[in-house]
Amino acid sequence: MKFLNIIERIDIFGVPIPLLTQANNQKFQSTLGGILSILLGSISLAYFLYIVVQWSNNLIPPNVSSKQKTISYTEFSFSKPLIQITLQDLTNDIDPFRKTNNIITPLLYTIINSTILKNPIPLFSTPEYSYQITLSNGSLVLNNLDSIDNEHLHMKQYLIVLTQCSNSSLLDGGYCADKNIIDEYLSKFHGLLFLTISLGQINQITRELEVFNKQYYTSFDTKSPIYSQIMLKQQETIIDDGILFNNYKRYNTLNNYEMINQQIDNSFASRVFTYMSETPLNLDNYGCYLFRIDNISIVEEVTMPKLGQILAQIGSIVQLLFLLKFAAIYYNSQLLEDELLHDIISMYYPDVKGYSLKNFLQKQFFQEENNKKQPSIQSLNSIHKTLLQSARKKCRLNNIIYEISRIQFIIQQQFGIHILKASHLLGEKFESHHFCTSNEKETNRFLVKPIDSIDFQEQITNKEPLELLLRQF
């Protein structure tokens, strides 16, 4: 019982106790309400802690929005391997890109504005990475501004041309293969060229750059070369990780690229160099790759959940859980009403005390059955309903005032109006020894004014029954 009393005191769904009861508590609480309070409070606290832990570990999905924008100027620099071209030779022939006994030489040209600079850089494969060439250091510039100034760099692009080996274009220590070997190699179909570019994206949780590769492939046919234009796309990621206020952090990455292919002939590069190069060249090309920055970029805005959003999320769920409070309040209200009505019935039928009304009626039913009276179940239910209805009417305020008014008229009829009026003067004199004695109080102790000083001959006029016992101020 002590444990149940503790649970009752925990009940946060208690209903106000009417003043027309003898209860000393301000609220009526129940065991069921206490259990619901503990259950809902525990679930709410557990959910609160769960969401806070998720939030502190950045496990709650942020709000992400993306949009495209057109840019006129941007720069991109790289110092790690960015671009790889790999030959997937289906014939398992020799590596054509090696530095010694070279067959095909990839030449890297720099294009400034619309001019191809001289002195290209040859790119060779290595013993560790055969059939593969890599571009590791460099920078690209997009400049579509209408005006030219000293604050911005000129447009810069890269062009890789796969051409037949020439000793004049090789670095120290490099040399071409025998002409017969070169001719025999170029007469065959060897497979596919894989273009791999390293891209990056910002991890929204760790704020670190995550690198991944994207790959395209084209056929490698020395008789029908391919010209490929590769447009590198940049992305600006804006992360707002403020707890209460905005705190923006910006990151720029290369996150995608597109490749457009066009079939050309072996003299395409020579014709281009005639019009664009500082020094026109005559060479056979077996593939060309142009790398430039696209003028359409992606802007990604990432807003991490803020404290207000987290509290609103927790509050909405907790509020939904606490809809059960209406069930607890309804239960407490019904239980309070039942106890109040039971007390009223007990005032008139003391035998009911200590029993619930239904149990008492069932007990009476069995006793009368033994006495051969045998009342029906329907009659007992009717009695039960009648008693509850009468008790419910009894505890209504207008009925209480009505019954007091009947008592007033009875006293007035027996003792007269003067006694009723004199009741305003009744009270007990304050004496300290009264609080220490248990003797019954005599009637004259309640007279603040001596009984013989009351004027019973006083004329009382214009006094309605409703006004006789009103409080005198």
Domain spans of the chain, in order of start: 1-60+306-322, 66-303, 409-468
Least confident of 86-100, 153-167, 349-363: 349-363
Among the listed residues 180, 77, 87, 194, the one whose alpha carbon sits nearest the alpha carbon of residue 130: 87
The rounded mean pLDDT for the chain is 79
Q: How far, in Å, CA of 146 to CA of 113, rounded?
A: 13
Going from the C-alpha of 202 to that of each of 80, 149, 212, 302, the distances in angstroms are 17, 33, 11, 11
Give the three-state DSSP class for 314: helix
Give residue 458's pLDDT band: very low, low, confident or very high (50, 70, 90): low
Model confidence at 20: pLDDT above 80: no
Beta strands 226-240 and 27-28 are unpaired
Q: How far, in Å, CA of 367 to CA of 382, rounded?
A: 18
Express each pLDDT in 244-290 by its tens digit. Answer: 888 888 888 899 999 999 999 988 888 888 888 877 778 888 999 99
DSSP annotation of 277 reads B
Model confidence at 61: pLDDT above 90: no
Express each pLDDT in 152-174 by its tens digit. Answer: 899 999 999 999 988 777 777 78
Among the listed residues 63, 66, 75, the one whose alpha carbon sits nearest the alpha carbon of residue 299: 66
* Alpha helical stretches, state H, 118-267: 179-186
Token readout for 176 is 């071409």
What residue type is assigned to position 291 of the chain? F
Tell me what the mean pLDDT of segment 128-141 comes to: 92
Among the listed residues 116, 55, 10, the one whose alpha carbon sits nearest the alpha carbon of residue 311: 55
The residues near 374 (Cβ < 8 Å, ≥ 6 apart) are 368
Model confidence at 22: pLDDT above 60: no
> How many CB atoms within 10 Å of residue 390?
13
